[in-house]
Amino acid sequence: MALYVYKFGGTSVGSVERIKAVAERVKKVHDAGDSLVVVLSAMSGETNRLIGLAKEMQEHPNERELDAMVSTGEQVTVALLSMRLHELGCPACSYTGTQVKILTDSSFTKARIKDIDDKRIRADLAEGKVVVVAGFQGVDEDGNITTLGRGGSDTTAVALAAALKADECHIYTDVDGVYTTDPRVEPKARRLDRITFEEMLEMASLGSKVLQIRSVEFAGKYNVALRVLSSFAEGNGTLITYEESQMESALISGIAFNRDEAKLTITGVPDLPGIAFKILGPIADANIEVDMIVQNIAADATTDFTFTVHRNDFSRAKTILESICADLGARKVTGDNNIVKVSIVGVGMRSHAGIASTMFKTLADEGINIQMIATSEIKISVVVDEKYLELAVRSLHSAFGLEQA
Ligand code: ADP
Ligand code: ASP
Ligand code: MG
């Protein structure tokens, strides 16, 4: 007898029919004698709809109230699934994050899980019930409802699998695994049988939203056997693993992209110690996260300083830079929020030279101008104009031989 945690995403519970189909799948596992905890997202589109409602009340909604409201999407689906299981004669019980309880810190809209009380879940499982838990939400020390950030149901599932020492955690979604790149952008993308935690973490943090970053971090830390599979088709999906052996021959495992970034430049900055701090200090004080940073070598005792932020923070960051520009003795501030970041990821990069030059040549051959470059041991990222996103992804996908056989 095994213990599984299954998570079904928004599309998988997007209608009454789909919830019924999930119930059938769950009942089969239960009838086979295995123990099952099911984590659900809200119906697809519901979280966005709720956020939209909130914004009609308040331009920047109060985050405590926002979390109290958006968490209701998941409360609906878990109760519906549990009802359907009852209808099928399968014992089940639904819980919110507060009921379980999934204890988090108090960072509303991006809370981190601190602890999971598994007593109720274990007692239900011992009685042969299927336990259905609302994803994406928790409760802080003061009893306030919190949410874990967009895509957070993945993290709920992995955290429960870790707490319960489940045999496997399955993430059921609308694709049948992790692909070499988003199949919506490159239809020739290939499903990977396996990907390492390290690569999955890079892919997720560079924009592949198939798994929330924190869920991968959690799974890596607690050694959770994590698999991404389709809700709609049979198959083994993709296993996230520590083993690299299978992928020795691949230089690059995948291509990720992020459309959520914007670029800011402050030109003619005096080339003096402390300047980077003077520029980025006020940005950090405003709680704005900075991603890539490039500072040019000074030609005439002044330099240009460029960095990227989330698009939502673009206008705030630009206003801050404009307010410090004169004090710094800099020339001017420019910005561009029509940029994207495209990254290639692969542990094979460690042992092979020439990958960066292949990437740059491929983009040059397509006439794509590279605006910024950043590298780490297993990834190379470039910032390009957003109109080149598809072209960049597809040409790199082909240049590194990632297509289906
Ligand atoms: P869910 O609602 O089930 O959580 P998501 O929309 O969060 O589903 O994640 C699945 C989506 O992730 C896919 O439909 C796909 O477009 C996108 N995606 C992005 N990058 C990849 C990738 N490398 N492999 C598979 N899917 C990807
Ligand atoms: N419903 C939440 C969202 O749309 C959480 C999730 O689906 O994982 O972000
Ligand atoms: Mg998701």
Residues 21 and 158 in one domain: yes
Q: Has residue 360 been placed in a domain?
A: yes
14 CB within 6 A, ligand 2: no
Give pLDDT, residue 244.
66
97 CB within 6 A, ligand 2: no
* Mean per-residue pLDDT of the chain: 95
> Could you tell me the strand order of the sheet in which 339-345 lies?
254-258, 339-345, 379-385, 372-376
144, 174, 204 — which closes off a domain? 174
Residue 164 has pLDDT above 90, yes or no: yes
Residues 162 and 62 in one domain: yes
* SS3 of residue 42 by DSSP: coil
Encode pLDDT of 198-244 as tens digits.
999 999 999 999 999 999 999 999 999 999 999 999 999 999 988 76
Domains: count for the chain: 2
Encode pLDDT of 317-344 as tens digits.
999 999 999 999 999 999 999 999 999 9
Residues 168 and 281 in one domain: no
Q: Which ligand is nearest to the CA of 97?
A: 2
Give pLDDT, residue 246.
53
Supply the DSSP symbol for 298: P
Q: Has residue 68 been placed in a domain?
A: yes
Amino acid at 280: L
b vs e for 232-262, b when ≥16 Cβ sit within 10 Å of the residue's Cβ? eeeeebbbbbeebeebeebbbbbbbbbebbb
What is the bridge-based pairing of β-strands 261-270 and 332-336?
antiparallel
Amino acid at 112: R
* Residue nearest to ligand 2 atom 9, measured at CA: 150
Encode pLDDT of 239-258 as tens digits.
998 876 554 567 899 999 99
Confidence of residue 350 (pLDDT cuts 50, 70, 90): confident
Name the maximum alpha-carbon separation found in the chain.
78
Q: Has residue 219 been placed in a domain?
A: no
**74 alpha carbon – ligand 2 mean position (Å):** 8
**327 alpha carbon – ligand 3 mean position (Å):** 44
Encode pLDDT of 108-130 as tens digits.
999 999 999 999 999 999 999 99
174, 189, 221 — which closes off a domain? 174
Range of the domain at 63: 3-174
Give pLDDT, residue 249.
63
* Residue nearest to ligand 2 atom 6, measured at CA: 151
Neighbours of ion ligand 3 (CB under 5 A): 9, 151
Instruction: Report the distance separating Cα 392 and Cα 354, nearest Å.
Output: 18
152 CB within 6 A, ligand 2: yes
Q: Has residue 230 been placed in a domain?
A: no
* Residue nearest to ligand 1 atom 15, measured at CA: 182
Q: Which ligand is nearest to the CA of 12?
A: 1
Give pLDDT, residue 245.
57
Instruction: Report the distance separating Cα 96 and Cα 135, nearest Å.
Output: 8
Residue 268 has pLDDT above 80, yes or no: yes
Q: Has residue 203 been placed in a domain?
A: no
Provide, rounded to the nearest whole percent, the portion of the chain with pLDDT above 90. Answer: 90
Assess contact for 34 and 195: CB atoms under 8 A.
no
Which of the listed residues 6, 172, 175 should we mutate to test ligand 1's pocket, taking the one with most ligand atoms within 8 A of CB?
175
Q: Which two tokens stand for residue 391?
A: 């072209």
Confidence of residue 301 (pLDDT cuts 50, 70, 90): confident
- Average pLDDT score over residue span 367-377: 94
Instruction: Report the distance separating Cα 396 and Cα 131, nearest Å.
Output: 44
41 CB within 6 A, ligand 2: yes
> At 387, which CATH number?
3.30.2130.10
Provide, rounded to the nearest whole percent, the portion of the chain with pLDDT above 70. Answer: 98
* Residue nearest to ligand 1 atom 6, measured at CA: 210
Whole-angstrom CA distances from 167 to 5, 145, 160, 174 are 8, 29, 11, 23
Instruction: Report the distance separating Cα 24 and Cα 43, nearest Å.
Output: 18
Give pLDDT, residue 221.
94
CA-73 nearest atom, ligand 2:
1
Residues 27 and 152 in one domain: yes
